[in-house]
Amino acid sequence: MRALPEVWRCRDLTFRVSERTHVVGILNVTPDSFSDGGRYANLDAAVSRAAEMAAGGADIIDVGGESTRPGAQPVAEAEELQRVIPVIEALVREVSVPISVDTTKAAVAEAALEAGAVIVNDVTALRGDRHMVEVVAKSKAGLVLMHMLGEPRTMQKEPRYGDVVAEVSASLLAWAKGAEASGVEHERIVIDPGIGFGKTLEHNLLLLRNLASLTALGYPVLVGPSRKSFIHAALGLPIGERLEATAGAVAWSVAQGAHLVRVHDVTEMVRVVRMTEAIRDAGASFEDEFEPPPGRDKVIIRGLRVFGYHGVHPHEQERGQDFVIDLEAHLDLRPAGRGDDLDETLDYSDLSRRVSAIVASERFNLIEALAERLAAEVLADPRVARTVVRVAKPAALAGRNVDAVLVEIERER
């Protein structure tokens, strides 16, 4: 099972993301941002706004010089540099909060880091500029990898997914592993599902509903629902009236384990975060979190057959083969038995869907690694205390008088 993240390292700073949810304040220094475009394009106004966010409890201030709203046009590198670098230099001097730069351009990121920023927030997840990963790796900056389908000009033109949760999770995991392979250390990476970036209302709601699938990947998770258009789609609210709905999405994200939230209204959202944490953690202790539930109750899925591309041999990765999955999830089923309520038990249909998506869309050399990934998915449900996962390759030793090759692992919370 992937280890739960404890820290996020950003140059010489360490954010202890396992201890509390961190709040990232948004500072757009653009004339065309969807929410507050033009309000902070002036240097003095930007510094004043950053000081307000710092006073309101922001842990990080994210400075952006290029709008990524749906339909936004790209900004020239020189123009983006002119917008963000003076602001970052001023904030480093005058505001005692770590600075992030929201950019897709390696040259802008490099200049921002030289000016004192410690984080690069890249909405293209390093896909927009092939030099970006080198800049981040060399500087040891923190890195936010966000999921976006397409690019801002076209991302909201009928976005489609087979399984949005599985596909976003698989993409983020692949991009994070790619960054690590290029020299970015694991503890410097945060992943972001990209709420509002190439997703319909249903896609966004499903991602929020299933944040546990992302937190199970082993990286800190940042969620940015602030004032987004999915709120309008759900409630019909204009931008200026989305504070309470944003608070609802932030509270849900925190309750589901988000490590960071990115927001416009810092003072209000810091209060939402702290209150949600207080409720979530009330009465909790080490024993409460990690002691298995009483009894020997379990939900079992047997013989789940899925076609996937796992194996050390090239033909296995190219042609694929069937895998057979058995799962046991150990949890207290008494509430479900007493109340006859699906919400009180593990939805085996949903779990089967998520497991099938992982087997079909992700790739591993070893079935041991696939089993670890599936165990992490099962344990993402906080009610599950223990899981047993079996992964079989029926065709592994075909013709050798062997029914199947399989591995079995047991993991506990």
> Which of helix, strand or coil describes residue 223?
strand
Whether the Cβ atoms of residue 299 and residue 276 lie closer than 8 Å to each other? no
Catalytic residue among 188, 228, 373, 393: 228
Catalytic residue among 188, 227, 262, 373: 262
Give dist(CA 124, CA 151) in Å, integer: 8
**What angle, 0 to 180 degrees and rounded to 10, lies between the N-to-C axes of helices 43-55 and 77-94?**
50
Give dist(CA 404, CA 321) in Å, integer: 13
Answer left, alpha or beta for residue 194, where phi above 0 means left and psi between -120 and 50 means alpha.
Answer: left
Give dist(CA 330, CA 50) in Å, integer: 48
As to burial, measured by CB atoms within 10 angstroms (0-12 exposed, 13-18 middle, 19+ buried), residue 374 is buried
What are the structure tokens assigned to 394, written together?
A: 């029926």
Whether the Cβ atoms of residue 260 and residue 221 lie closer than 8 Å to each other? yes
**Phi and psi torsions of 121, nearest 5°:** -105, 105
Give dist(CA 175, CA 127) in Å, integer: 9
**Phi and psi torsions of 391, nearest 5°:** -120, 120
End-to-end CA distance of the chain: give it in Å, rounded: 10
- For residue 393, indicate whether it is catalytic: no
- For residue 262, indicate whether it is catalytic: yes
Give dist(CA 118, CA 112) in Å, integer: 8
As to burial, measured by CB atoms within 10 angstroms (0-12 exposed, 13-18 middle, 19+ buried), residue 331 is buried
CA 93 to chain centre: 31
What are the structure tokens assigned to 319, written together?
A: 């042609």
DSSP string of 2-58, one letter each residue: PPPP--EEETTEEE-TTTS-EEEEEEE--SS-TTTTTTT-SHHHHHHHHHHHHHTT-
b/e per residue 130-141 (b: at least 16 CB within 10 A): eebbbbbbebbb
Q: List, by residue number, the catalytic residues.
A: 228, 262
